Chain A
Amino acid sequence: MTAVLVIVAVCTLAAAAVAFALRPLVHSALCLVLAWAGVAAFYLWAGAEFLAFAQVLVYVGAISMVVLFAVLLTRRQSGEGDSRVAGAARRVAAGLAVAALVAGVLGRAVLAVPPASAPVAPPTLGVRQLGGELADGHAAALLAAGALLTVALIGAVVLAAGDAGRHGEDPP
């Protein structure tokens, strides 16, 4: 049981680390898709199957497609790295140092807490139960999330379309 968790964790972390170390943007995006799939595998391992499917649908399916489109639409500079920008090495070193610091603090905090008592029976979560929770106690939040998604997608279309609509109105 724990061995599966370790394998999933190592694969996910390796995919994420490789994604940020690689130079070509498309490779980075594909490696991150692997990392998101690893997170979905973790959800499956923990017994939250519906969340695993949601993760696969939203991240591995939708967001990865949007990311790949964005990478391909902004492709002109994808070949060249950001190493030519002055001070890039210093920024990378500072970023790694901050991340290591955060990881150290989090890891110490996790390890300092005494381990929990004997494991209880794993909770089960059926789709029916989750739907009941959503429609019963979180109906307002569900509607707000739907409205947020609608507004965000319309806003994204407006932002990405940019001047395309205005060109049509210009007099020839």
Chain B
Amino acid sequence: MSALTLCLLFSSALFAVGLAGALCRGNAILVLLGIELMLNAANLNFIAFWRYGPPGAGATGPVFVLFAIAVAAAEAAVGLALVIAVYRHQRNIRLAEAVRLKG
């Protein structure tokens, strides 16, 4: 099995773990962390193809990963602020109980 295949399998498995975590847990923070893990799994693919892809692509893969990390950081900051805002309203952060937008 080639190293590229191993990298892609690794990233697929990490994506599946993140998806399972985001779907199975009812806690808003853990759902957010599962989404972060899925973003990381996608970044692994960029680096794997940059490392083993055809030469001459320059640094496109790492540059894309850098921007993805920046966007993920912004998403985490806003998401966790939303979690705190939800907690202030209903005194817990279970997503199943967050059914009201206003009130």
Residues of A whose CB lies within 8 Å of any CB of B are 1-2, 5-6, 9, 12-13, 16-17, 19-20, 25, 28-29, 32, 35-36, 39, 42-43, 46-48, 50-51, 54-55, 58-59, 62-63, 66-67, 69-71, 73-74, 76-77, 82, 85, 88, 91-92, 94-96, 98-100, 102-103, 106-107, 110-111, 113, 115-116, 119-123, 125, 129-130, 133-134, 138, 141, 145, 148-149, 152-153, 155-157, 159-160, 162-163
Contacts and interface: CB of A to CB of B under 8 A. Distances in A.
Interface in B36-68: 36-37, 40, 43-44, 47-48, 50-52, 54-55, 58-59, 62-63, 65-67
Given A103-B16, A130-B62, 7 more contacts: A51-B62, A63-B36, A63-B76, A76-B92, A85-B94, A130-B63, A162-B85
Given A67-B29, A70-B80, A116-B2, A125 B13 contact: no
Contacts, number: 232
A123 B73 CA distance: 27
A74 B78 contact: no
Chain B CB within 10 A, most for which of A36, A42, A100? A42
